[in-house]
Structure 1
Amino acid sequence: MNYFKSFSERVLNLQGNEFDALALELFRFQAQHNLIYSAYLKARGLEVEAVSTVEQIPFLPIQFFKSHAVISGPSSDYADFYSSSGTTGQITSRHWIWEESFYLQHAQRIFEQHYGDLTDFHVLAMLPAYLERKGSSLVSMADHFIKKTGSDYSGFYLYNYDMLIDQLLKIRHLQDGKKVLLLGVTFALLDLAEQFGEDFPPLDQLIIMETGGMKGRRKEMIREEVHEVLKRGLKVSSIHSEYGMTELFSQAYSDGEGLYKLPASMKVFLRDVNDPLSWSDKGQGGVNIIDLANFHSCAFIETQDLGKYDEKGMLKILGRFDNSEVRGCNLMVN
């Protein structure tokens, strides 16, 4: 447990030039203490001592979170887990939690570095499919954000859209200079835009942020189509996005156009779509993520997402591999 405490403090106070050194230290630690990752490295025939750069670190396929307890250290150090939403009949991922307070503190730090202090916000969360089950890391994060705002106008909404509109009208009347974050699963935001678009109150400092997720409630749409519908219906010029998943403890945020700025604790490498053990030389490929906040599980994840970097170094998520299982939080994109 002492090593987790040390890692958590270093992640929370991470400087940009410290990433590679901490990633290599975590690799050596998890290669020894994470039984699943260690077995995977042995199956790959990898010599741990031969790894000297982050580019040489192998990435664990994300499917292992569905079939195994991906933990570093004894199971007695873990009391609970976050679980993915999935769809009916799917096996969901489990990400065991060392200390929830670290996850929440880390999530707050990432958000505030991107958007500013939560005390300057009213946060209204529309996460019906997540609120209707247990174990959602997104709900835990949103609940923490709501509490940190200290605002009586912050809160959760299921399908009570009338109450949400009424709350937004009250906030607009306040004129307190605070920003408003409307954080929502995609199908709920689309429902809101289509049902209340004519009556939706325009706010000067409104941020609409979609988290993905049709949950089988609506037909899949490309991201650009979703964002156009939301911009028209909710009277904003851009739609923000959060890129996160149950298997990661860090999040990335987009201010629009689906382009994500990565937090200090995360790096993304693109692998060849036909050879997962090679890096892509085509400007796009499969998304491999180093998340230093995963010091308690596995920090090196081979996802089923496809991505590319633009000329400014911003990450764009293009979609998922055709042969991958559709994830419960999937938002199909170009």
Structure 2
Amino acid sequence: MALQNNSPETAIRDSLRDRIITFKPENFDDLALDVFRYQAAFNPVYSQFIGALNVDPNKITRLTDIPFLPIQFFKTHTIRTGNVAVTADTIFESSGTTGLNTSRHHLYDPELYKLVSERIFQLNYGDLNRFHILALLPSYLERNNSSLVYMVQHFIARSGSEHSGFYLNNPQELLEKLKFLSQNPDGKSVLLLGVTFALLDLADSGENMSFLQNLDKLIVMDTGGMKGRRREMLREEVHDILTQELHVPVIHSEYGMTELISQGYSHGNGLFEPGNTLRILIRDVNDPLTISDHNPDKTKTGGINVIDLANLDSCAFIETQDLGRFGDAPGTFYVMGRFDNSDIRGCNLMVL
């Protein structure tokens, strides 16, 4: 991303970008605090928000003391850090529902987005060139500004597989491709990634999919979202149907949203592991300024606050409308649903 050469934040921003790419997990807190100070100084919207809370950025020494910007600001403001000299490479927009304002996330550094998202995937599943990626994302493909499609397009290109691709409204073509791959194994894994309603439609198609048992390296990944196409269902109910009909032991999931660059992944049972540039904190449901980065009582549910270091050019500290709780292993988390008064989101995850 090109910044104005005479802007005072250029050197700071470039140094932070380099550190985001190379940092080690034990240095997350120090880097997050430096990103906070940078954004507090050079993000006009975030700076005004901090000022309204009467917070002195120079006195912040812990992640739990950082003010988190309510995610609704992405609907009403352009959230930008730095004096950007060029227009955004692209603008991601949430799907939302008719009549509701949508979130807009301006992407100024596509290379950072691709690097971070690819690295997170590889840390969870291995190199992309070991996969055939079959994407079942009809509602997302009907738009041209989906961050999920943007990421998966990159993954498909990086897979280098002639069999990787998107499937809009042709489940039969998808099934034929899966049959071909089951009959012609080449040692690669198959990633079937789909929005929830489309995976359920595939499972309910009436086709005999017992051949999927021959795909011993099949990963089915649910990205969430009914899009108003089907009734809302519990995640456990959805995954029970999918595991039975698609002949896989577990359903994987992706946690991401328009306003984030980093992702988290679940390898089953709804337990998410955040990417290395992502940290989940939990805020008290009655006092949003009471925030915890760990909790001995793992059953306590609260609002999810996200630190996404890769959001260097927007805001790395976001108060979401998701409800969650911590898992047993450090850093892990569950998504329990959403606040009752929040908008229905396109990437909405179902209640457990």
Shorter-chain TM-score: what band?
over 0.9
Q: Which runs of 5+ in 2 are unaligned?
A: 4-9
Contact kept? 2:136, 2:198, Cα under 8 Å: yes
1:36 and 2:53 correspond: no
Quote the Cα distance in structure 2 between the aligned partners of 1:109 and 1:303.
24
1:270 alignment partner in structure 2: 282
Root-mean-square deviation over aligned CA pairs: 1.4
Instruction: Tell me what 1:220 maps to.
Output: 232
Partner of 1:27: 36
Deviation at 1:258, TM superposition (A): 0.6
- Deviation track 1:85-133 (CA, whole Å, cap 9, x = no partner) reads 1111111101111111221121111000110001110000011101001
Give 2:189's aligned residue: 179
**Cα distance in structure 2, aligned partners of 1:297 and 1:252:** 19
Q: 1:130 aligns with which of 121, 136, 140?
A: 140
Please give the secondary structure, in 2, of the residue aligned with 1:268: strand
**How far 1:200 sits from its partner (Å)?**
5.2
Q: How does 1:90-101 map to 2 (within 5 A)?
A: 90-101=100-111
Shift in Å at residue 223 of structure 1? 0.4
Q: CA deviation at 1:7?
A: 2.6
- 1:6 and 1:327 map into 2 onto residues whose CA distance is 35
Cα 1:141–1:329 change in 2 (3 A) is: same
What is the CA–CA distance in structure 2 between the aligned matches of 1:110 and 1:221, rounded to whole Å?
28
> 2:253 maps to what in 1?
241
Distance 1:289 1:179 in 2: 31
- Of 95, 117, 125, 1:115 maps to 125
State the partner residue of 2:199: 189
Match for 1:89 among 99, 103, 117?
Answer: 99
Equivalent residue number for residue 279 of structure 1: 291
Deviation at 1:197, TM superposition (A): 4.8
Aligned CA distance change for structure 1 residues 39 and 117 (closer, same or farther; 3 Å): same
Aligned: 1:145 with 2:163: no
Do the aligned residues in 2 keep the contact of 1:123 with 1:183 (CA within 8 Å)? yes
Indicate the larger mover: 297-306 or 283-292: 283-292
SS at 1:293's partner residue? coil
Alignment equivalent of 1:322, drawn from 340, 347, 350: 340
Q: Check whether the contact 2:209–2:246 (CA below 8 A) recurs between aligned residues.
A: no
Looking at structure 2, the residues matched to 207 and 158 of structure 1 have their Cα atoms a distance apart, in angstroms, of: 19
Q: Is the 8 A contact 1:14 1:264 kept in 2?
A: no
Identical residues among aligned pairs (%): 51
Larger CA deviation: 181-190 vs 304-313: 304-313
TM-score (norm 2): 0.92
1:127 maps to a residue whose letter is: L
Unaligned runs of 5+ in 1: none
Read off the aligned partner of 1:39 and give its amino acid letter. Answer: Q
CA distance in 2, matches of 1:94, 1:244: 14
Please name the residue that 2:320 is paired with: 303
- Aligned residue for 2:211, secondary structure, equals coil
Corresponding residue to 1:160 among 148, 170, 173: 170
The size of the alignment, in residue pairs, is 334
Q: Quote the offset at 1:72 in angstroms.
A: 0.4
